[in-house]
Each structure stands twice: as structure tokens, then as C-alpha cells.
């Protein structure tokens, strides 16, 4: 597995940058809490934290944010085989709440509704809590130096007094090295989730990457999908979502808590093939990585929420909010929802969401979740104002629009006249500075326009 001139699997002398490793003797306790999944990266971290970093005790922590049960089984079994003290912490409710904050912000980064990104700070905080309860002096993760997750974990952890260790990155490990290292030490990594793809699943989304999928031109086989049926195979169905202040609270009139609501929509919309995206994703460190996602509930909820906002927010609120929402999604992608900027963005979001209450009807068909009806007590909509069959809007008559129509585009008309006369003139500069031959007549036109408007108004 090793190339001829490389080091043996356990010889880390070449790849280790001692300056990059935090010295555990600096900390209160010689114990470290490791974000543990039972996969290859986190499994090799256990002996490495003891041997290379000098920690006496490693604690493994797996945080439940809605992964499939098999993942906890794998983590438990691997921990048992390693003799690792192991904790499983349930953070599903906290995570679901963050996902629904994302709905209020219409949050998507390059089309991806941010499942992994929203989960990482929740996981990091839960691990830190276990670490503090167990008197650990340090926190560790198994992320590589290429991805986003290292940054999302560490930005949370570096706010604490605990040391932060990233063995895979700091020791410069490759996957090949990890496999050889695990084989040599007989570490329990065989049975694991080391299939064709690298998959990250939680309540909000299932992300699939790696191997052939990394090639942007490779067409994903149907087999990469697990949450979504092939679109178009089931008969269309219709459902309603009730919102209160921007939060979804019920499906088809049945109230439920966030975890249940998201789970049910994942199943129902997933059966209709809703919520597949294939993204060329710009990672934080600048790499473009192709990622495939499934997120049926997120697609339904984001679509429904947007449709309700379209009804209740003014044109200016809607357009300004797209800017706010985009910044929220970017900060969420960066794992920086704790930034003061986000507090300010959320102030605006909360103000607008106080009216985002109502019901949206969604049709699930052909892999799409289409809003087909919306209602709200705050709808900025007047049947009589929009109708072609009534002459007045309050005390405004149809004829009042004549003056508006005359002024509308006035500046553009004037600009076009100036441009035209400048292009016709022999010396365009002279035409522009002298006002040109036509400028006088345009002034006349303005005057007579105004006179006409005044007369008509009388
Ligand atoms: N690229 C996404 C993100 O950074 C998801 C990564 C998921 N990981 C995976 N192994 N598929 O948020």
C-alpha cells in the first residue's frame, strides 16, 4: 500500500509538524474528547491521540442529529472493540430548531440547504459539553485539512479554553496511510461505512461525494440515492403546510414538533422524488467540489415558506430580504451563525416573519414540490384592487393612473433623446455640453406634458 520510498505506516516522523500539535501537558487534564463516528478517520485518531499527542485517556462522543440507526451501531461497536469510553448525545431537537431558523431565512448555499453545515456547530457544542463534564483538557476531530468541517468545529471550540487537536490534518495523514496504519494495528475498521461514496446524513439532508462522483461530468447512478425515489414514479399528491411567524408547525392541519414534521416530509416528499440537487460547490478554502444531495423536507419547506413570504411581504421587503437571506446562508455555510452580523440579520428576519403566518398548499409531482395555493391573514392582497371588474381602488379611480403613466419612464425617455441627438451631432461633445439641438424641444415637450397633466386632473 505504501510507495517504495515512503515511510512505514507507523512512522510519522516525516509528516508530523510538531509545532502544529498542541502540547497536552499545557492542559488541566490529560484527557481528550474526540468527535467519534466509528469511521476510518476517527478510529485511527484514538491511538494517535495517545501515542503521538501523549493523552492518557480518549473519550469518544457521537452526537445524534438524525443519522440512521446503523451509524450509531457502527460507532458503538467500534468503540467497544477499541475499548473506548463512548458517549452518544441526542441533539436532534436542537438541530431541528436550527434547520427551521434556516427556513425563515430561505437558506440555501449554491442550491444546498445546508444540512451538514447547520449540524456541525450543534455537534461541536454537544461534544464540548461532554468534554467539560468529564474534565477533559482538549477536543479533537478527525477532519482532513481540505474540507469545511474542520473550520466549523474549531470555530466553536476555539471560543473555549480547551486545546484543539486535528490529528489527520496535523499529522498530514492520507487515506492510504490510515488504512495501512489501521491494518497494522488491527483496528476495527472493516465492517464500516467505507462503501463507494462518502456520505453524511442528518435530519435535514443526505450528502454524497467521492470517487467517480467527484468528476463533474460523471452522471450519478440511481444507486447513490437513498431518501428519494426516482421522480415521476408515484401519483402526484397535495399537502398543506401551516406556518406561524415563519416556522412550519403543521402538515395537513396536524400540528407536530420540528423533528417529526421534518421526518414526515422527508418520507412523503422523498417518495415523490423531491429534493435532489447536484452542486458544484465552492468550499471555504476555495476548492470546487461536486456534491450530490437529497433533502425532500427542506425542498418542500423552503418552497412553501417562500410562497407565503411572496404573499405577505411588500416588494421592497422581499427584495431586501434576498440579500439578508443570502448572507445568513453564507454565514451558516461557514459555521459562523454565532457572528454578531448574524444577530443583526436575524433581527431583520424576525421583524419580517411576524407576518409570515398562514397556509400553503404544495403539489408533489415529478420530483418537484410546487406551491399551488397560499393564504394568510397578512396577505398584501386586495381582490377588488387586483380585479379587472372594478373601477376604483379605495378612492383612487382608474383615470388617476394617466398622470402616473405619463411620468413613468420620463427620465429614460429624456436620456434616450440626449443619447440620440449626441450620436447624430457632428461633434458629440458639443452636442452634449451645449444641450444639443433637441434639448430645447425636449424642454418644450416636458412643459406641455405637465400642462396637459394639470388640465386633465382638473
Ligand atoms: N459539502 C457539504 C458541506 O460542506 C457537505 C459535506 C458532506 N460530507 C460528505 N462526506 N458527503 O457542508
List, for residues 50-98, the tens digit of each pLDDT value: 999 999 999 999 999 999 999 999 999 999 999 999 999 999 999 999 9
Report, as an integer, the average pLDDT of 106-129: 98
| % residues pLDDT > 90 (the chain) | 79
Angle between helical axes of 258-270 and 296-312 (0-180°, round to 10): 110
pLDDT digits (tens, 9 = 90+) for 338-357: 999 999 999 999 999 999 99
115 Cα nearest atom in ligand 1: 12
Q: What is the pLDDT of residues 378-405, one digit of tens each?
A: 999 988 888 878 888 888 998 999 999 9
Q: Report d(CA 227, CA 222) in Å as an integer.
A: 11
Q: Which pLDDT score is estimated for 421?
A: 94
| CA of residue 48 to ligand 1 center, whole Å | 25
Q: Give the pLDDT score at 195.
A: 67
Residue with the bigger pLDDT between 440 and 198: it is 198
Position 446 pLDDT exceeds 60: no
What residues does 208 pair with on adjacent strands?
199, 292
In the prediction, which pLDDT does 388 show?
79
Q: Whose CA is nearest to atom 4 of ligand 1?
A: 148
- Tell me what pLDDT residue 390 has: 81
Average pLDDT of 334-341? 98
Q: Is residue 449 pLDDT above 50, yes or no?
A: no
- In this prediction, residue 445 has a pLDDT band, given cuts at 50, 70 and 90, of very low
From 142, 200, 283, 329, give the residue whose CB has the most ligand 1 atoms within 8 Å, as the site to mutate: 200
Q: Name, in order, each residue with C-beta under 8 angstroms of 270's C-beta and a sequence gap of 6 or more.
A: 227, 228, 229, 294, 296
pLDDT tens-place string over residues 145-165: 999 999 999 999 999 999 999
CA atoms within 13 A on the CB side of 285: 11
User: pLDDT grade, residue 298 (50/70/90)?
Assistant: very high
Q: What is the pLDDT of residue 262?
A: 98
Tell me the three state secondary structure of residue 313. Answer: coil
Is 18's pLDDT higher than 50?
A: no
Asked whether residue 220 carries a pLDDT value surpassing 60, the answer given is: yes
User: What domains can you pick out in the chain, each with its CATH number?
Assistant: 18-189 (3.40.50.620), 206-313+355-380 (3.90.1260.10), 384-457 (no CATH)
pLDDT 10s digits, 40-58: 999 999 999 999 999 999 9
| Residues in contact with 383: Cβ distance below 8 Å, sequence separation at least 6, in sequence order | none
Mutational test site, ligand 1, from 37, 116, 196, 227, max ligand atoms within 8 Å of CB: 116
- Mean pLDDT, range 118-128, rounded to an integer: 98
What is the average per-residue pLDDT within 290-317?
Answer: 98
Positions annotated as catalytic residues are: 41, 120, 149, 198
Is the pLDDT at 12 greater than 80, yes or no?
no
Instruction: Supply the residue whose CA is at minimum distance from atom 5 of ligand 1.
Output: 116
CA separation, residue 250 to residues 256, 258, 296 (Å): 6, 9, 16
Does the pLDDT of residue 372 top 50, yes or no?
yes
Q: Which residue has better confidence, 411 or 21? A: 411
Comparing 144-158, 203-217, 326-340, 421-435, which segment has the lowest mean pLDDT?
Answer: 421-435
Residues lining ligand 1, Cβ inside 6 A? 116-117, 148, 198-200, 207-209, 281, 291
Whether residue 298 contacts residue 109, with contact meaning beta carbons closer than 8 Å, is answered with: no
**What is the residue with the minimal CA distance to atom 1 of ligand 1?**
291
Q: What percent of the chain has pLDDT over 70?
A: 86
| Nearest atom (ligand 1) to Cα of 116 | 12
Q: Which residue has the higher pLDDT, 458 or 188?
A: 188
User: Is 192's pLDDT higher than 50?
Assistant: no
pLDDT at 452: 46
Ligand 1 atom nearest to 117, measured from its CA: 12
pTM: 0.87
Tell me the best of 195, 291, 329 to mutate to test the pocket of ligand 1, counting ligand atoms within 8 Å of each CB and taking the most.
291
Q: What is the pLDDT of residue 244?
A: 98
What is the pLDDT, as a whole number, of residue 190? 66
Q: Ligand 1 centre and the CA of 309: distance in Å?
A: 29
Phi, psi of 169 (to 5 degrees): -75, -45
Mean pLDDT of the residues in the chain: 89
Q: Could you tell me if residue 252 is left (phi over 0), alpha (psi between -120 and 50 degrees) or otherwise beta?
A: left
430 has pLDDT over 70: no
Q: How far is the CA of 207 from the centre of ligand 1 (A)?
A: 6
Amino acid at each position: 500500500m505504501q510507495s517504495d520510498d515512503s515511510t512505514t505506516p507507523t512512522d510519522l516522523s516525516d509528516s508530523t509538524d510538531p509545532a502544529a500539535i498542541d502540547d497536552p501537558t499545557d492542559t488541566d487534564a490529560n484527557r481528550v474528547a474526540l468527535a467519534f463516528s466509528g469511521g476510518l478517520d476517527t478510529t485511527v485518531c484514538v491511538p494517535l491521540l495517545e501515542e503521538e499527542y501523549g493523552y492518557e485517556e480518549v473519550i469518544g462522543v457521537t452526537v445524534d442529529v438524525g443519522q440512521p440507526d446503523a451509524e450509531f451501531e457502527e460507532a458503538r461497536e467500534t468503540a467497544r472493540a477499541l475499548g473506548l469510553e463512548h458517549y452518544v448525545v441526542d441533539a436532534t431537537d436542537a438541530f431541528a430548531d436550527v434547520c427551521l431558523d434556516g427556513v425563515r431565512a430561505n437558506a440555501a448555499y449554491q442550491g444546498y440547504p445546508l444540512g451538514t453545515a447547520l449540524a456541525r456547530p450543534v455537534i461541536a457544542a454537544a461534544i464540548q459539553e461532554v468534554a467539560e463534564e468529564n474534565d477533559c483538557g482538549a477536543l479533537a476531530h478527525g477532519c482532513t485539512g481540505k474540507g469545511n468541517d474542520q473550520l466549523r468545529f474549531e470555530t466553536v471550540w476555539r471560543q473555549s479554553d480547551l486545546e484543539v487537536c486535528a490529528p489527520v490534518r496535523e499529522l498530514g495523514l492520507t487515506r492510504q496511510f490510515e488504512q495501512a496504519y489501521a491494518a497494522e494495528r488491527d483496528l476495527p475498521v472493516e465492517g464500516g461505512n467505507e462503501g463507494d461514496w462518502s456520505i453524511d446524513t442528518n435530519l435535514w439532508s443526505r450528502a454524497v461525494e467521492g470517487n467517480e462522483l467527484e468528476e463533474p461530468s460523471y452522471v450519478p447512478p440511481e444507486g447513490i440515492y437513498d431518501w428519494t425515489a426516482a421522480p415521476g414514479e408515484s401519483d402526484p399528491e397535495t399537502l398543506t403546510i401551516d406556518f406561524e411567524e415563519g416556522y412550519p408547525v403543521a402538515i395537513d392541519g396536524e400540528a407536530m414538533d420540528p423533528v417529526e414534521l421534518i421526518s414526515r416530509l422527508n418520507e412523503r416528499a422523498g417518495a415523490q422524488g423531491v429534493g435532489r440537487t447536484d452542486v458544484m460547490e465552492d468550499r471555504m478554502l476555495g476548492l470546487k467540489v461536486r456534491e450530490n444531495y437529497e433533502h425532500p423536507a427542506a425542498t418542500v419547506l423552503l418552497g412553501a415558506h417562500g410562497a407565503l413570504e411572496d404573499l405577505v411581504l411588500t416588494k421592497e421587503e422581499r427584495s431586501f430580504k434576498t440579500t439578508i437571506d443570502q448572507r445568513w446562508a453564507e454565514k451558516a455555510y461557514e459555521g459562523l451563525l454565532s457572528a454578531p452580523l448574524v444577530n443583526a440579520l436575524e433581527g431583520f428576519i424576525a421583524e419580517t416573519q411576524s407576518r409570515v403566518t398562514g397556509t400553503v398548499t404544495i403539489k408533489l409531482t415529478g420530483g418537484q414540490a410546487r406551491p399551488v395555493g397560499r393564504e394568510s391573514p397578512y396577505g398584501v392582497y386586495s381582490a377588488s384592487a387586483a380585479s379587472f371588474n372594478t373601477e376604483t381602488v379605495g378612492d383612487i379611480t382608474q383615470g388617476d393612473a394617466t398622470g402616473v403613466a405619463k411620468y413613468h419612464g420620463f427620465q429614460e425617455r429624456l436620456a434616450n433623446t440626449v443619447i440620440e441627438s449626441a450620436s447624430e451631432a457632428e461633434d458629440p461633445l458639443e452636442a452634449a455640453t451645449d444641450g444639443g439641438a433637441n434639448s430645447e424641444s425636449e424642454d418644450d415637450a416636458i412643459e406641455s406634458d405637465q400642462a396637459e397633466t394639470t388640465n386633465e386632473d382638473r
